Amino acid sequence: RVDAFLADYLSGKPKGINVFSQSSSDASVTTDESLFEQPEPLSHNKAAMEKILWRKSTQMHDEQRSWQECPEGRKMMKFRSTLPAYKEKDVILNAISQNQVIIISGETGCGKTTQIPQFILESEIERMQGAMCNIICTQPRRISAMSVSERIATERGETLGETVGYKVRLEGMKGRDTHLLFCTTGILLRRLLVDRNLKGVTYVIVDEIHERGINEDFLLIVLKDLLPRRPELRLILMSATLDAELFSSYLGGAPVVHIPGFTYPVKTHFLESILEATRYQLTPYNQVDDYGTEKMWKMSKQTPRKRKSQIASTVEDALSAADFKDYTALTQESMSYWNPDCIGFNLIEYLLCNICEKERAGAVLVFLTGWDDISSLKDKLQAHPVLGDPNRVLLLACHGSMASEEQVNVNQLLIVSKKLIFNKPEDGIRKIVLATNIAETSITIDDVVFVVDCGKAKETSYDALNNTPCLLPSWISKVSAKQRRGRAGRVQPGECYHLYPRCVYDAFEDYQLPEILRTPLQSLCLQIKSLKLGSISEFLSRALQSPENRAVQNAIEYLKTIGALDENEKLTVLGHYLTMLPMEPKLGKMLILGAIFNCLDPVLSVVAGLSVRDPFLAPLDKKDLAEAAKAQFSHDYSDHLALVRAYKGWKVADGDQTGYEYCWKNFLSAQSMKAIDSLRKEFYSLLKDTGLVDSNPATYNVWSYDEHLVRAIICYGLYPGICSIVHNEKSFSLKTMEDGHVLLYSNSMIARHSRIPYPWLVFNEKIKVNSVFLRDSTAVSDSMLLLFGGSISKGDMDDHLKMLGGYLEFYMDPSIAKLYQNLRRELDELIQTK
């Protein structure tokens, strides 16, 4: 082992493309990309190196022993030995030593994430190999990487950043002695960019593979290729469900170790029995709320057994149609008190109150679809006489996601309420945790006895045919429902309330569709290119389940259209820069151009703003005031510029410690403003790493900017998301080439005007809900579209002109279109020669 390690280490070439700074060796917040510290190569003398490693291993061994023998350590070992994973320890370690790849499955909470990496680490330390072993364990979410590593450090009697550390994007806690590192899947993928063989890493553990996230599926293809090149590397896949066979056959029949678990029986209630048992009254107050519920209930009585899809779609209709003619009204209503995407909050409130007053002790876990739901339900419950009483109820929120918007929340959550979430509350106080599906498998709350399941989860889906992504709550799978139910039976027999009828459950799919089959593939394709993994479609055809060819082609087309790939699918210079910016290509494009044109300040706000929740609030009871406040930001015919203005006002006010007041007066979310503020810093530091901006803050703290230029840069980023504005007598309508008539999303600033002095809109996304809605748009002029729409590079100029010509011809007089085309050609030639 030592020989293999040394050979590997000493043969290491200097780092390849060093795009990120390498720094900090002590346990501290780090932003560098290297995962483990290599021992100082004092000399290339093998004997000297061996000595260093031996000394370090001995020290690790002694430290581990002394912890395990002290009273606290013993107590911890005793707890750990009660976990089901502990009983399988020898079987697992044995399987790992004899196979390059193994798959471990076991119920959530059995100890996979916290114990298995520790078993490996401990046994290496026992064998005096501690200093030579480097274990990476990937997690799909930041919050689990952070909380699990901290838990393990505690179990080992250490502080975080010693033997155990974590690394998530732009943040980390690891040090010179870290040998077990938790990171998000994205971090490991980015590491592979500069270190294709994962030099020095001895074990890779991929956790939560049953979730089938796009990054995990991608990582598996890469690791599968890596295994023959690194025969001593061990790969361990961990899954909470029993579809392990799928992975096993993908990885050449790798053995599966199952950890038998134990859960107490959980009594299941579907909607029909909940309504009957609680005698939930339909009062005028919650008429709107109950529309879906009531209809579903009736249906569950009437429909004996319709065909699967029929039922699912009928229920969808019952829930979402709800007689709202105007979608705009619907979304606005839903923001404050009614959510069309899961069953009424009123029913949940009623049910929770029922549990608090009548049921035995035990925590309640409520599964909702997303942060929006969680925070609005939390507000509602806090106003309730029983549920909002802190002497009776401890109300907590728990969610975690990799979307940057939420990272801020996650951090706050970790600091503020992590202990509260995991610990038992005082006697007589009932803990209620509102969670997203993160609590399904990644996080275990031990004392849960009651589970309330709304039956939905927010997932991105992708309509390859129309090339339209949708982010909508959709029904969960049977496996997820079972997982949610299982959370109730960990400490004693539990109860689970599914807020949907039995017939709906019967219509659920068995498993959820893997993400790679339901999301746009642009970023993935860029990553494939930057890792030099060959042809995109060939590479993706080797996935566990390959995406549709049409979806792959769409992504490649898009990347060509925006100039990230050339004709031959080769990464362009722009594409190369885009791969250094871990964000959607369109956001990256704006940043790059913002840097080049030296107007980064507003562009940073635009890009940060696109990554957070809409900061303009519209509370129902103060609708008019909120509207009036909003009006002062809306005169630019741009949602993006409105945000730039709002942020600027906040920043100025915040300097005087009056940021909150400013938000309050202007109906802005202070949380979103803070999130934008910190994202701007993140994006700026990412840009610095690309070398496009220097560290002089003067370049980005420029308060004055050319509004037209910013508009043009937004156009550059959002192209080909373009739509034409057609004015009629009183107002205007919108159409795009692919969808025909489209509408503006209800919160758009542009919808407030009846005339727009520009012929085009560029938009961030379109969402299909009955009609197609555009979200986050900016009005742009002909010349902006002409000059900034698409790529400016010689190779694909003709194609680009054809495409641009297509747009222009579609929307305007062909002779004018011709004129524009010629003008663009001349401009392009000018640019090329300059």
Partner whose footprint covers residue 115, from ligand CDP, Mg ion, none (CB < 5 to 8 Å by kind): ligand CDP
Q: What's the closest the beta carbon of residue 207 comes to Mg ion, in angstroms? A: 6
Q: What's the closest the beta carbon of residue 802 comes to Mg ion, in angstroms? A: 51
Instruction: Give me the 105-144 binding string for Mg ion, x by CB under 5 A, dash otherwise.
Output: -------xx-------------------------------
Query: What residue type is 7 in one-letter code?
Result: A
Residue of 56, 61, 112, 210 interacting with ligand CDP (CB under 6 A): 112
**421 versus 715: smaller Cβ distance to ligand CDP:** 421
Contacts of 111 (CB under 8 A, 6+ apart): 80, 83, 84, 85, 86, 259
Q: What's the closest the beta carbon of residue 810 comes to ligand CDP, in angstroms? A: 53
Are the beta carbons of 323 and 767 closer than 8 angstroms?
Answer: no
Encoded tokens for 161? 């950043």
Specify the pairing of strand 448-453 against strand 430-435. Answer: unpaired
Instruction: Give me the 404-443 binding string for ligand CDP, x by CB under 6 A, dash otherwise.
Output: ------------------x---------------------
Partner whose footprint covers residue 134, from Mg ion, ligand CDP, none (CB < 5 to 8 Å by kind): none
Binding residues for ligand CDP restricted to 441-470, rule: CB under 6 A: 444, 446
108 lines the binding site for ligand CDP (CB under 6 A): yes
In which element (H, E) is residue 743 found? Answer: strand 740-744
Output 826-829 pairs: Cβ under 8 A, ≥24 positions apart: 827/786, 827/787, 828/792, 828/794, 828/797
Task: State the DSSP code for 104.
Answer: E
Whole-angstrom CA distances from 690 to 24, 324, 578, 592, 791 are 20, 49, 9, 9, 20
What value does the CA radius of gyration of the chain take, rounded to a whole number of Å? 28
Whole-angstrom CA distances from 772 to 379, 465, 740, 759 are 31, 14, 9, 20
Burial tier of 49 (Cβ tally within 10 Å: 0-12, 13-18, 19+): buried
CA distance 742 to 761: 12
Positions of E strands within 43-131 = 101-106
Contacts of 605 (CB under 8 A, 6+ apart): 643, 644, 647, 648, 676, 680
Q: What's the closest the beta carbon of residue 84 comes to ligand CDP, in angstroms? A: 8
**259 versus 457: smaller Cβ distance to ligand CDP:** 259
Closest CA to 332 of 619, 610, 614: 619
Q: What's the closest the beta carbon of residue 116 comes to ligand CDP, in angstroms? A: 8
CA distance 763 to 774: 6
Binding residues for Mg ion restricted to 592-611, rule: CB under 5 A: none
115 lines the binding site for ligand CDP (CB under 6 A): yes
Encoded tokens for 579? 């791969």
**112 versus 775: smaller Cβ distance to ligand CDP:** 112
106 lines the binding site for ligand CDP (CB under 6 A): yes
**144 versus 346: smaller Cβ distance to ligand CDP:** 144
147 lines the binding site for Mg ion (CB under 5 A): no
Residue of 12, 86, 151, 332 interacting with ligand CDP (CB under 6 A): 151
Segment interacting with ligand CDP, rule: CB under 6 A, options 102-110, 117-125, 246-254, 694-702:
102-110
Q: What's the closest the beta carbon of residue 332 comes to ligand CDP, in angstroms? A: 39
Binding residues for ligand CDP restricted to 78-97, rule: CB under 6 A: 83
**79 versus 810: smaller Cβ distance to ligand CDP:** 79
Segment interacting with ligand CDP, rule: CB under 6 A, options 36-44, 107-115, 336-344, 687-695:
107-115
Partner whose footprint covers residue 454, from Mg ion, ligand CDP, none (CB < 5 to 8 Å by kind): none
CA distance 660 to 668: 9
**Locus of tokens 């959550």:** 413
**441 versus 554: smaller Cβ distance to ligand CDP:** 441
* Number of other residues whose CB lies within 10 A of the CB of residue 48: 12
Encoded tokens for 32? 């560098």
**244 versus 626: smaller Cβ distance to ligand CDP:** 244
**439 versus 646: smaller Cβ distance to ligand CDP:** 439
**113 versus 184: smaller Cβ distance to Mg ion:** 113
Q: Which residue is nearest to Mg ion (CB)?
A: 113
Count Cβ neighbours within 10 Å for each residue of 295-321 and write b for 16 or more, e otherwise: bbbebbeeeeebeeeebbebbeebbbe
**Locus of tokens 């902006």:** 784
Residue of 53, 61, 89, 109 interacting with ligand CDP (CB under 6 A): 109
Partner whose footprint covers residue 527, from ligand CDP, Mg ion, none (CB < 5 to 8 Å by kind): none
Closest CA to 686 of 566, 570, 591: 591
Segment interacting with ligand CDP, rule: CB under 6 A, options 109-117, 195-203, 516-524, 732-740:
109-117
Encoded tokens for 394? 């401890």
Specify the pairing of strand 732-736 against strand 722-727. Answer: antiparallel
Segment interacting with ligand CDP, rule: CB under 6 A, options 108-116, 525-533, 578-586, 625-633:
108-116
Number of shown-chain residues binding ligand CDP (CB under 6 A): 15
Interacting residue ranges for Mg ion, rule: CB under 5 A: 112-113
Residues at the interface with ligand CDP (CB under 6 A): 83, 106, 108-115, 147, 151, 422, 444, 446
